[in-house]
């Protein structure tokens, strides 16, 4: 064992001291002294190590709505953590300083933080959940798992904010401890995933179905990027998939892209409000009960309305949340609003 590293949970040993990582759907084959695509897993003498283990690069107390989750513990805060590294290279990434750090500057920074410490911080601040976010939790699986187990024991919920590109082995490992996941469904185009993310679409779709079957609460986010992922056809395909495979109660967040803060798409204009409204309408017409626009404050499309009688049930302005539901039910007609409240 090397200090500050942890032997990876999921990998296979191959001939000539090569290994195959089984943590995400890249399934990297890694030679001795080399790292995988994420830049945080290294083959050292025929064994695979996570170099980012316990190295917390970001920790904040955020509104759960920022993740975004609108139906999971609405109106609460979530202790949010990340290490450096990512298995994708999204051109639109807003956290590229930490997500791409291992590849762009060969640095793996972070403050060594015991998993128990994370849970203690949540308890001390009376925070009901830990979010694994900002970068991709899959690439800090070993650390996340330890935090998740302790959190669960202490009745604190666990939520992943993920690109959904984990392996099936990772899903099997995390699902007993995972309460909710917000998964990006960035586009319905394989080309988009290859060119702008360095990933693939199919594993994400399969994983969404698997997570849903495992009983994890799922919300979906699609960043609507002008000219790249904003066509009506693309949005229709996403909405149809969500309705058919995940169910009409699955919330879909269609969010505004902002070029200025992106890694490599600074020349692309911000998503026009009209386009977000169109995406909202596409979702509703596809039969989704809960569609939300994001990153633009003050639109009524941030609110939750009863899918039966249209009464306002949760009123949101940015992160200011007013709940009018009666224990998860519509205050007017009693309809279930699909909220996870505890
Ligand atoms: S986590 Fe994914 S990207 Fe990183 S080494 Fe493993 S398979 Fe490769």
pLDDT digits (tens, 9 = 90+) for 229-266: 999 999 999 999 999 999 999 999 999 999 999 999 99
Q: How many Å lie between the centroid of ligand 1 and the Cα of residue 23?
A: 6
- For ligand 1, what atom is nearest to the CA of residue 8? 6
Q: Is 28 in the pocket of ligand 1 (CB under 6 A)?
A: yes
Compute the distance from residue 336 Cα to the ligand 1 centre, in Å.
40
Determine how β-strand 77-82 pairs with β-strand 58-63.
Answer: antiparallel
86 pocket-lining for ligand 1 (C-beta < 6 Å): no
pTM: 0.97
Calculate how far, in angstroms, residue 102's C-alpha sits from the geometric centre of ligand 1: 13
* CA of 313 relative to ligand 1 center, distance in Å: 42
CA distance 208 to 206: 5
202 Cα–ligand 1 center, Å: 17
Residue 106: the pLDDT is 87
Q: Is 37 in the pocket of ligand 1 (CB under 6 A)?
A: yes
Would you state the pLDDT for residue 60? 98
Measured in Å, residue 111 CA sits from the centre of ligand 1 at: 22
Cα-Cα-Cα-Cα dihedral sign, residues 5, 57, 292, 329: positive
Residue of the nearest CA to atom 7 in ligand 1?
27
Residue spans of the chain under pLDDT 70? 1-3
Task: Please state, in angstroms and rounded to a whole number, the distance separating the CA atoms of residues 43 and 20.
Answer: 9
For residue 51 and ligand 1, the question of a CB distance below 6 A is answered with no
Regarding the beta carbon of 87 and ligand 1, being less than 6 Å apart is answered yes
* Residue 170, ligand 1, Cβ within 6 A: no
Residue to mutate, 21, 43, 53, 173, ligand 1, most ligand atoms under 8 Å from C-beta:
21
Whether 43 is in the pocket of ligand 1, judged by its Cβ within 6 Å, is no
């Amino acid at each position: 064992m090397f200090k500050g590293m942890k032997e990876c949970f999921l990998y296979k040993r191959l001939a000539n001291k090569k290994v195959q990582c089984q943590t995400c759907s890249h399934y990297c084959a890694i030679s001795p002294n080399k790292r995988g695509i994420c830049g945080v897993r290294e083959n050292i003498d025929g064994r695979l190590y996570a170099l980012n283990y316990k190295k917390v690069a970001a920790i904040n107390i955020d509104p759960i709505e920022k993740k975004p989750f609108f139906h999971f513990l609405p109106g609460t805060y979530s202790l949010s953590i990340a290490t450096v590294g990512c298995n994708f290279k999204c051109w639109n990434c807003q956290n590229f300083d930490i997500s791409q750090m291992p590849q762009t500057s060969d640095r793996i920074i972070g403050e060594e933080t015991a998993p128990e410490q994370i849970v203690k911080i949540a308890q001390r601040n009376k925070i009901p959940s830990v979010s694994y976010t900002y970068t991709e939790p899959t690439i800090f699986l070993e650390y996340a798992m330890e935090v998740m187990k302790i959190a669960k024991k202490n009745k604190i919920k666990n939520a992943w904010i993920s690109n959904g590109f984990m392996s099936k082995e990772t899903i099997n490992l995390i699902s007993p401890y995972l309460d909710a996941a917000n998964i990006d469904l960035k586009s319905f185009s394989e080309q988009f995933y290859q060119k702008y993310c360095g990933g693939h679409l199919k594993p994400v779709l399969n994983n969404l179905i698997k997570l849903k079957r495992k009983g994890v609460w799922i919300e979906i986010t699609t960043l609507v990027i002008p000219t790249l992922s904003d066509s009506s056809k693309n949005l229709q395909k996403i909405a149809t998939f969500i309705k058919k495979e995940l169910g009409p109660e699955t919330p879909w967040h269609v969010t505004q892209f902002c070029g200025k803060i992106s890694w490599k798409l600074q020349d692309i204009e911000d998503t026009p409000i009209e386009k977000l409204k169109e995406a909202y309408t596409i979702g509703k017409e596809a039969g989704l009960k809960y569609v939300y626009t994001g990153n633009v404050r003050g639109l009524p499309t941030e609110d939750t309305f009863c899918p039966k009688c249209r009464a306002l049930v949760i009123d949101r302005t940015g992160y200011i949340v007013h709940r009018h539901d009666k224990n998860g039910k519509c205050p007017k007609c009693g309809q279930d609003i699909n909220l996870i409240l505890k």
